[in-house]
Structure 1
Amino acid sequence: MNNDTNNFVSNVRNDMRGDAGIGNNEQQIEQITWILFLKVYYFREQHWALEEDDYQSIIPDKYQWNNWAANTKKNWNKTGEELINFVDDHLIPDLKNIPVNSHTPARQAIVPEIFSGISNHMQNGVLLRKVINDVDALDLTSTEGNDTVADIYEMILRSMQSQSNSGEYYTPRPLTDFITSHLHIHLGDRIGDFAVGTGGFLTSSLKILKKQVKTAHDIDTYNNSVFGKELHFLPFLLCVTNLFLHSVDNPDVIHGDSLSKNVDEYEDKDKFNVICMNPPYGQNKLETILNNFPYDLRSNELSDLFIILAMYRIKPQGRVGLILPDSFMFGTSPVKQHIKAKLFHDFNVKLIVRLPKGVFQPYTSINTNLVFFDNTHSTQKTWFYRVDLPKGMKQFTKTRPITHHTFKKVNEWLEAPEVIDNNGNKKAEQISIDQIKKRKYDLSYVGFGQHHAVIKDPMTLLNEYLTQKHQYDQKIAKLTKEVKDIFGSNDKND
């Protein structure tokens, strides 16, 4: 990050902190993002207009960036109460109500969808003008300028990690870069993330693909390479803006619930060559969601349901990289065993990487793991590798976060995997499927904790209890119905 990046973020945040309407970090992020979205969208439209003689903007002229926001002579006096009234009473409601239909291109239909969930939190029109001027000064016309804006955006996204209510939507870039670098991504692959958050896995994938673009046809392929779906509006907005910043002209990102469709209904067209995800943790509380999964795989843990979803939506020969909590690794409840049995039987689980403590600090202290598998054949053997903390550190923190250097040794090890045994403390080893089955799919290897002394966190224990209780309740209800049916038929015979 250079000084321009730091100065921009610092100036904008100071201005927003001085506004009575901005109450928290999440409102700051939403405010800066919708303003930046309009600037970036205007820049992309200039590009589209040069390429397409008949291009017509979906945004009315008076709401085009240069006609109200740009710091030009005709706009300089639009400030204070006049600016607030313009934004609150005209700009946002009118962009929200732009008519679209089935023929509207996705890159244009995204505008009213974005503004359907937007609010202007700022109440001071003078401070709002200062923020708009700072955004207007960003240079998107050069490669260097565009890189600076991308750095600024990444810095804004990274600030989400420290927020207890929004940190789940941001995955540290060293993680997304490491995972995508080992999924053998090629131009022509369709890459999906069904818990897309701010789009980190997609942009890491796009960085790999961009190096492979050589022709005009390759540009079209690049533009249609990634897909994301996100339940919550703010990360959806952040993801769309993120993709525009990476020159994706038709962001294929859906605002909706990835678990709302029965997994048996997915067809070949719904499947992907590559899936990479950091599924949400916590509990699913909706019976209707569980009904979308096979009976023996119905878990109350959201992360489990996303693992199953990945299994149903990966193409033959496809590759998957997931970030999963310890509850998946250690869990030996009936439903956990069924899920892992399907995973290891139907897919080739190649590698599991144990991450150090504090990767997602300060958002959560949950320990996590990376699971890589492909849709080629059943698992015969799986490599396990433990990433250790730098010397002198007990865990990663907000001020000392995970970095790309953290993965230097594992990257070197992956070039020629071998067992690493430090006086009985194994850092890397390969485990056969028979050994894994014998342990009831308890995957506590390479320092994951001794098998007999695994201490589960309270939330994991609660989720396992609720999952088993739910299954037993369903079995009791089924048996009760069968008994009633039997006695009911006997009464009729009498």
Structure 2
Amino acid sequence: MAATTKREAEKSPGTSQSRLASLIKSARDTMRKDAGMNGDLDRLPQLSWLLFLKAFDGRVEQEGEALDPDGYRRAIEEPYRWEDWATVPDFSGDELKSFVNDKLIPHLAGLVGDDAEDPRNVISTIFKDVVNRMQSGTLLRDLVDIVNQIHFVSADDIHTMAFVYESILKEMRDVAGGSGEFYTPRPVNRFMVQQSFLELGESILDPASGTGGFLVQAYEALKGQVKTDTQRRRLHKDIRGIEKKPLPYLLGSMNLLLHGIDAPHIRRGSALLEMRNSNAADKVDVVLTNPPFGGEEEATVVKAFPDGFRTQETAWLFLYSILDQLKLGGRCAIVLPNGSLFAVGENSIGAKIKKKLMKDCNLHTVVRLPQGVFAPYTQIPSNILFFEKTGPTQEVWFYEVPLPEGRRGYTKTKPMRFEDFESCVDWWGGKQREGREVGEQAWVVPASDIIASGFNLDIANPHLGDDLKHRTPEELVDELVKTEMEILGLLKELRSGLESADE
């Protein structure tokens, strides 16, 4: 087996957006013919790991050799380089399938890097969980040939591929949403990053990084400030994630690679355990995240937390861990459901964690999101909490983002837009939050009132009133859903307390 020619990336034509979309469609049509592929949960990961190898070859390996012909050492060596097997037209059928299954994937999964910056560590982490699900070596050859027509020869090509890849991720999120995975809509990512006022040189972590939405937005917000190679390398290192599940890890690594980070700093593992076992050197300046909520953690994770703060509710454990993970002066933007804001008793775990939050940090803003922002995954009302580890909270500002005129909620076909945050951005008052005013959508509550309420942060907009005659049936149903979620939270707290008492 040998490559017929050595590809010259600089001579390859670019790939337009329409051409790329056509190739992706052809790739998915090819995979649909294969008996081993069962829906997009199989097809999209299959396409992603092939795209990863093609992009890595073009973005990292070939560029590295061009910049340092004598000193660059490839992360992937013969006969596993893309050009050694993927560009050989007659390497097909069972021979190709056996090579991929028995040699290529095991070799890539066994790579070991010399240091934390070595991209071989990223490759091996990805491919430890990769499985070639295609049963036909001939169709696999067809798929590889299609991927081979995608080129990464310029910044424009990378941008185009990243744009199309994000559309693939959106479809992937739609599929995963049905199995309990909720992903953050891009407008919410962008708003949270923008209102965090990131600065070059800050370490930025998403401990539930998923497909990399927050990390990509953070990188895009900061890369224009880079002036030197040293700053670029530092920025790549400062964009950090932790992801527990193999599929989001693969998709997130690919997403960062396509956006220009050659060796993504995403770790595979339990973020809760990693944050509990971290040291001072692991603390970060900024956390941007939408942690899982409504789930239950296993006993080994719960036991890693101190007495009095042990609960199976994932969102509470993430919030507690983030408080410890932030440096002094650090800040966080985090999505939490209404149930987490609701007061569940002065001695409940939720109240204790909110007490710690308001004692250690300045919880300066709670942005209440409209109905349906996370549709179709969940209708649970959600909020974004912004806080800084700069001392106790004195007052909390609330801002209720209004729905567009004539809308009762967001849906899958009519999702939220970034422009819908415009009124909140105008009100915000810049980095120093100057000139904020109480208004129809904004109100402020003294910390003393929140403490007296048992740390209830689920505070309704006082300007809207609660006249049932003027509320729509949809609003009444939403209120019932909210109440049921709060009751469910109380029951979970009660069960956690009983389980802790039995230990």
Deviation at 1:206, TM superposition (A): 0.3
Structure 2 counterpart SS, 1:224: helix
Deviation at 1:336, TM superposition (A): 1.4
Report if the CA contact (8 A) 2:364-2:387 is conserved.
yes
Over 3 Å counting, the alpha-carbon distance change for 1:428 and 1:315 in structure 2 is: same
Over 3 Å counting, the alpha-carbon distance change for 1:381 and 1:176 in structure 2 is: same
Over 3 Å counting, the alpha-carbon distance change for 1:105 and 1:379 in structure 2 is: closer
* Equivalence for 2:212: 199
Instruction: State whether structure 2 residue 72 is matched by structure 1 residue 55.
Output: yes
Report if the CA contact (8 A) 2:159-2:258 is conserved.
no
* Equivalence for 1:136: 148
Structure 2 counterpart SS, 1:296: coil
* Equivalence for 2:354: 340
Structure 2 counterpart SS, 1:429: strand
Over 3 Å counting, the alpha-carbon distance change for 1:476 and 1:88 in structure 2 is: closer
Deviation at 1:395, TM superposition (A): 2.1
- Percent identical residues: 33
Instruction: State whether structure 2 residue 29 is matched by structure 1 residue 14.
Output: yes
Deviation at 1:246, TM superposition (A): 2.1
The residue type paired with residue 50 of structure 2 is I
Instruction: State whether structure 2 residue 93 is matched by structure 1 residue 80.
Output: yes
Report if the CA contact (8 A) 1:261-1:292 is conserved.
no
Q: How far apart, in 1, do the equivalents of 2:209 and 2:158 lie?
A: 23
The residue type paired with residue 408 of structure 1 is E
Among 282, 305, 308, the residue aligned to 1:293: 305
Among 47, 62, 74, the residue aligned to 1:46: 62
Deviation at 1:337, TM superposition (A): 1.1
Q: How far apart, in 2, do the equivalents of 1:275 and 1:207 lie?
A: 16
Give the TM-score normalised by structure 1.
0.88
Q: Deviations over 1:340-398 (max 9, x none)?
A: 11111110011111111222222222221111000112111111111122223322222
Q: How far apart, in 2, do the equivalents of 1:97 and 1:261 lie?
A: 23
Over 3 Å counting, the alpha-carbon distance change for 1:4 and 1:442 in structure 2 is: farther
Q: How far apart, in 1, do the equivalents of 2:95 and 2:502 lie?
A: 65
Give the TM-score normalised by structure 2.
0.86
Among 275, 288, 294, the residue aligned to 2:287: 275
Deviation at 1:446, TM superposition (A): 4.2
Among 436, 444, 463, the residue aligned to 1:417: 436
Q: 178-187 or 125-134: which moved more?
A: 125-134
Report if the CA contact (8 A) 1:198-1:242 is conserved.
yes
Over 3 Å counting, the alpha-carbon distance change for 1:285 and 1:314 in structure 2 is: closer
Over 3 Å counting, the alpha-carbon distance change for 1:457 and 1:412 in structure 2 is: same
Q: How far apart, in 2, do the equivalents of 1:459 and 1:286 lie?
A: 21
The residue type paired with residue 414 of structure 1 is W
* Equivalence for 1:119: 131
Among 385, 395, 419, the residue aligned to 1:405: 419
Q: 27-36 or 159-168: which moved more?
A: 159-168
Instruction: State whether structure 2 residue 247 is matched by structure 1 residue 234.
Output: yes
* Equivalence for 1:464: 490
* Equivalence for 1:64: 81
Deviation at 1:327, TM superposition (A): 1.1
* Equivalence for 1:369: 383
Instruction: State whether structure 2 residue 246 is matched by structure 1 residue 244.
Output: no
Q: 120-129 or 442-451: which moved more?
A: 442-451
Over 3 Å counting, the alpha-carbon distance change for 1:346 and 1:57 in structure 2 is: same
Q: 187-196 or 40-49: which moved more?
A: 40-49
* Equivalence for 2:12: none
Q: How far apart, in 2, do the equivalents of 1:167 and 1:407 lie?
A: 27
Q: Deviations over 1:272-328 (max 9, x none)?
A: 000011101123242221222222222221011101111000011111000111111
Q: How far apart, in 2, do the equivalents of 1:11 and 1:139 lie?
A: 16
Over 3 Å counting, the alpha-carbon distance change for 1:469 and 1:86 in structure 2 is: closer
Q: Which runs of 5+ in 1 are unaligned?
A: 422-426, 478-494
Structure 1 counterpart SS, 2:29: helix
